[in-house]
Structure 1
Amino acid sequence: MLGIFGSARKTAAAMADTAYWQLIIDGVTSRLGPAEALCLPARGPSRNMWNWHSKRLHPYLPSLQEEFRRLAAYQAREAGYADPGQTRSMTAPGRGQFVVGDGAVPASPVRGPGSKTKSKKKHAREKKEPGSAESDGGSAATGGESPKVAEDEPQANPRRKDPGAGWHVEGGEEEDGGHRVFGPKFVLTSVRDDRPLSRIVLDVRYQRPGKGYGGEAALAVSMLMDAAARLPGLTGACWDGALREIHRDQLMKAGLLIVSPQHDGIAPRRIALVTGCPCGNRHDLWSKGGALREAESLDTGEIHLTPTTGSRLEPCGGRRHRWYLLTRLSCGNTHRERLDTTREDHRRGLNRTEHLRQHPPDTDSYIHCYRWRPDAESLNAQLDATLWNRRMIAYGAPQQTLVMLALAQNALTRHLHHRQAPSTTRQERAPP
Structure 2
Amino acid sequence: MPDDLFGDRVPRAARKKTARRASETDLRTVSQRITDVARFEDLYRLAETLTSAPGPRRGRPPHYPPYVYLLFLALRGIHGSARYCAGDLQDPSVWTTIRGGVAHHLGADEAARLPETGPSRHQWQHAQRTLLIPRLEELGETFADLALAQALRQGLLPADARRSWSSPQRHQLIAGDGTVTRSPTLATTPYSVDPTTGEIRRHRVDPASSWQKEGGADRTGNNRHSTTPARTATDTDTEDNKNEEAMVLGSKFVVFSTRHRGYFRRVFLRYAHVPHNQPGGEASVALDLACAILDAADGCMGVLYDGALRGMHRDVIARRGRLLINKQHKGATPRYIRTLDFGHCRHELWSNSGRVHERAFLDDGTSTLIPLSVGKLERRANTHTHRWYHLLAIPCPRGPPPTPRIRRHHQHHRRTRPRPKRHRDRLPPRRKPPPDPRQHRRPPEPLRRPRRHRSRLLPTRPLPVEPPHDRLRRRSPKPRRPRLPPRPKRDQRSPLRRRPHLRRRPHRDSRPQPQPTRALPIMN
**Fold similarity call, TM over 0.5:** yes
Say whether the 8 Å CA contact 1:253–1:340 is kept in structure 2: no
Say whether the 8 Å CA contact 1:241–1:260 is kept in structure 2: yes
Residue 217 (structure 1) shift: 0.8
Residue number among 173, 177, 185 corresponding to 2:244 in the alignment: 177
Residue number among 70, 77, 89 corresponding to 1:3 in the alignment: 77
**How far apart are the structure 1 equivalents of 2:245 and 2:115?**
49
Ranges in structure 2 where 5+ consecutive residues have no aligned partner: 1-74, 190-199, 222-242, 417-524
Q: Equivalent residue for 2:378? A: 314
Does 2:304 align with 1:238?
yes
Residue 292 (structure 1) shift: 0.6
The Cα offsets for residues 297-316 of structure 1, whole Å up to 9 and x where unpaired, read as 45654434333234321122
Does 2:349 align with 1:264?
no
Q: Equivalent residue for 1:168? A: 212
Say whether the 8 Å CA contact 2:188–2:205 is kept in structure 1: no
Residue 112 (structure 1) shift: 4.6
Structure possessing the higher radius of gyration over alpha carbons: 2
Residue number among 192, 214, 222 corresponding to 2:280 in the alignment: 214
Q: Equivalent residue for 2:407? A: 338
Residue number among 388, 409, 426 corresponding to 1:323 in the alignment: 388
SS of equivalent to 1:218? helix
**Percent pairwise identity:** 36
The Cα offsets for residues 64-110 of structure 1, whole Å up to 9 and x where unpaired, read as 01111111111111111111121222232211112222111121111
Does 2:184 align with 1:109?
yes
Q: Equivalent residue for 1:41? A: 115
Comparing 326-335 and 78-87, the one that deviates more: 326-335
Structure-to-structure mapping, 1:269-418, within 5 angstroms: 269-275=335-341, 281-298=345-362, 301-317=365-381, 319-330=384-395, 331-341=400-410, 348=414
The amino acid of 1:323's aligned partner reads W
1 or 2 for the larger relative contact order (CA 8 Å, sep ≥6)? 1
Say whether the 8 Å CA contact 1:237–1:259 is kept in structure 2: yes
The Cα offsets for residues 382-425 of structure 1, whole Å up to 9 and x where unpaired, read as xxxxxxxxxxxxxxxxxxxxxxxxxxxxxxxxxxxxxxxxxxxx
**How far apart are the structure 2 equivalents of 1:328 and 1:29?**
65
Does 2:81 align with 1:15?
no
Q: Equivalent residue for 1:387? A: none
**How far apart are the structure 2 equivalents of 1:328 and 1:157?**
70
User: Cα 1:217–1:329, aligned 2, differ >3 Å: closer, same or farther?
Assistant: same
Residue 28 (structure 1) shift: 1.7
**How far apart are the structure 2 equivalents of 1:263 and 1:280?**
37
The amino acid of 2:259's aligned partner reads R
Q: Equivalent residue for 2:98? A: 24
Say whether the 8 Å CA contact 1:77–1:231 is kept in structure 2: no
Residue 234 (structure 1) shift: 1.2
Q: Equivalent residue for 1:400? A: none
Q: Equivalent residue for 1:191? A: 258
Say whether the 8 Å CA contact 1:283–1:294 is kept in structure 2: yes
The amino acid of 1:186's aligned partner reads F
SS of equivalent to 1:109? coil
Say whether the 8 Å CA contact 1:170–1:180 is kept in structure 2: yes
Residue 15 (structure 1) shift: 1.6
Report how many aligned residue pairs link the two structures. 305
Q: Equivalent residue for 2:162? A: 87
User: Cα 1:157–1:250, aligned 2, differ >3 Å: closer, same or farther?
Assistant: farther
The amino acid of 1:46's aligned partner reads S
Q: Equivalent residue for 1:73? A: 148
Ranges in structure 1 where 5+ consecutive residues have no aligned partner: 115-155, 351-432
Comparing 13-22 and 164-173, the one that deviates more: 13-22
The amino acid of 1:247's aligned partner reads H
The amino acid of 1:224's aligned partner reads A
TM-score where L is the length of structure 2:
0.54
Residue 25 (structure 1) shift: 1.6
**How far apart are the structure 2 equivalents of 1:64 and 1:271?**
48
SS of equivalent to 1:160? coil
The structure in which a higher percent of residues are helix is: 1
The Cα offsets for residues 334-367 of structure 1, whole Å up to 9 and x where unpaired, read as 111111239xx68x379xxxxxxxxxxxxxxxxx
Residue number among 290, 301, 311 corresponding to 1:224 in the alignment: 290
**How far apart are the structure 2 equivalents of 1:166 and 1:261?**
27
User: Cα 1:256–1:40, aligned 2, differ >3 Å: closer, same or farther?
Assistant: same
Q: Equivalent residue for 1:430? A: none
The Cα offsets for residues 178-209 of structure 1, whole Å up to 9 and x where unpaired, read as 20000111111111112012111111211111
User: Cα 1:194–1:158, aligned 2, differ >3 Å: closer, same or farther?
Assistant: farther
The Cα offsets for residues 19-67 of structure 1, whole Å up to 9 and x where unpaired, read as 2212222222222233432332222111111110121222211110111
**How far apart are the structure 1 equivalents of 2:366 and 2:202?**
62
Q: Equivalent residue for 2:520? A: none
User: Cα 1:36–1:259, aligned 2, differ >3 Å: closer, same or farther?
Assistant: same
SS of equivalent to 1:24? helix
**How far apart are the structure 1 equivalents of 2:284 and 2:163?**
26
The Cα offsets for residues 253-293 of structure 1, whole Å up to 9 and x where unpaired, read as 22221121123332221012335x5x665432111222112
Residue 325 (structure 1) shift: 0.8
